Amino acid sequence: MSGRVIDGKAIAAGVRADVVAAVKTLPEQPALAVVLVGDDPASQVYVSSKGKATIEAGMRSVEIRLPKETGEADLLAQVEALSRDPAIDGILVQLPLPKHISEQHILAAIDPLKDVDGLTEASAGKLLLGKPGLRPCTPVGCVILAKTQRPDLAGANVVVIGRSILVGKPAALLFLEQNATVTLAHSKTRDLRVISRGADILVAAVGRPEMVRGDWIRPGAIVIDVGTNRVPAPEKGEGKTKLVGDVNFKEAIEIASAVTPSPGGVGPMTIACLLRNTVLASCARRGWAVPDALRA
């Protein structure tokens, strides 16, 4: 093994410690509402982790779990009620939603001041225009992790694989904001392996288990693996499964200068940035000064 393992849990713990310090200085406890529709096992785990982390940060957690048959109108009514509720500071609707519900319709019902996921048109527009605003959590986590290895990203060749609204597109804009030279690659990109090999920083957010192999990586590159995929693990016994990223970690660590593991890399950063956004949203909406601990 030649490369470093980027310890996302430890770096996220630093961000979370800042959030805890910040919350203690606020006049009131901020509250984060997380809405989950359906019983997807992975989403259930994510939502429980978010709720637990919110409480550990000293904030109030409101979890709304709805059956998978919930209609779009009912979900809209729930989200609108949270948007109106003065006691709620942040709203996160866990994605993906069941196929019969339009994600765009639901996201549009989130008060932009409470958009801790950074997914509303208002937040996305601010990101595009370079205006201050709430930024999507996972891409912010990717940038923070990359900067632990290369504090100045100016001029770095960043290749992002994946163009989702949750990760790929906002990640490209955030790296651009850091003055990186960004290539946004996707399923229709030709010669993906060759393009990936041009990256100083390779961000894999495709949702395909271990798609990025060792020979996709430039020697010495930094690799940020956003994927979390559940795959069969016959070596652990019949019917057993395990989580792997979008990057073949064993091959990547031989070639890259640093790689995030999955799990244990980007995931913990997503939660830490969500908590940070909840405090920032509460300050902006309630007219509180941003605590010093979060000013960096």
- Min separation Cβ 96 and ligand GUN, Å: 7
Per-residue mark of binding to ligand GUN, 186-225 (x: CB under 6 A): ----------------------------------------
Residue 256's alpha-carbon distances to 197, 217, 278, in angstroms, are: 11, 7, 34
| 284 Cβ neighbours under 8 A, 6+ residues apart | 113
Question: From the CB of 94, what's the least distance to ligand GUN, in Å?
Answer: 5
SS3 category, 71? coil
Binders of ligand GUN among residues 111 to 150 (CB under 6 A) are 117, 137-138
Tell me if 94 contacts ligand GUN by CB under 6 A.
Answer: yes
Size of the residue set binding ligand GUN (CB under 6 A): 9
CA–CA separation, 160 vs 181, rounded Å? 11
| Cα–Cα distance measured from residue 285 to residue 60, given in angstroms and rounded to the nearest whole number | 16
Smallest separation, CB 152 to ligand GUN (Å): 27
* Catalytic annotation, residues: 50, 94, 117
Q: How far is the CB of 92 from ligand GUN (least distance, A)?
A: 5
Task: Give strand ranges (E) for 20-133.
Answer: 31-37, 60-66, 90-93
Applying CB under 6 A, among 120, 183, 270, 277 the residue interacting with ligand GUN is 270
State yes or no: residue 166 binds ligand GUN (CB under 6 A): yes
Question: Is the Cα torsion angle 97, 101, 103, 109 positive or negative in sign?
Answer: negative
Q: Is the dihedral of CA 140, 68, 100, 90 positive or negative?
A: negative
Q: Does 93 bind ligand GUN (CB under 6 A)?
A: yes
How far is residue 72's CA from residue 219's CA, in Å, rounded to a whole number? 48
Q: Which of 92, 156, 171, 192 binds ligand GUN (CB under 6 A)?
A: 92
Residue nearest to ligand GUN (CB): 95
- Site for ligand GUN, rule CB under 6 A: 92-95, 117, 137-138, 166, 270
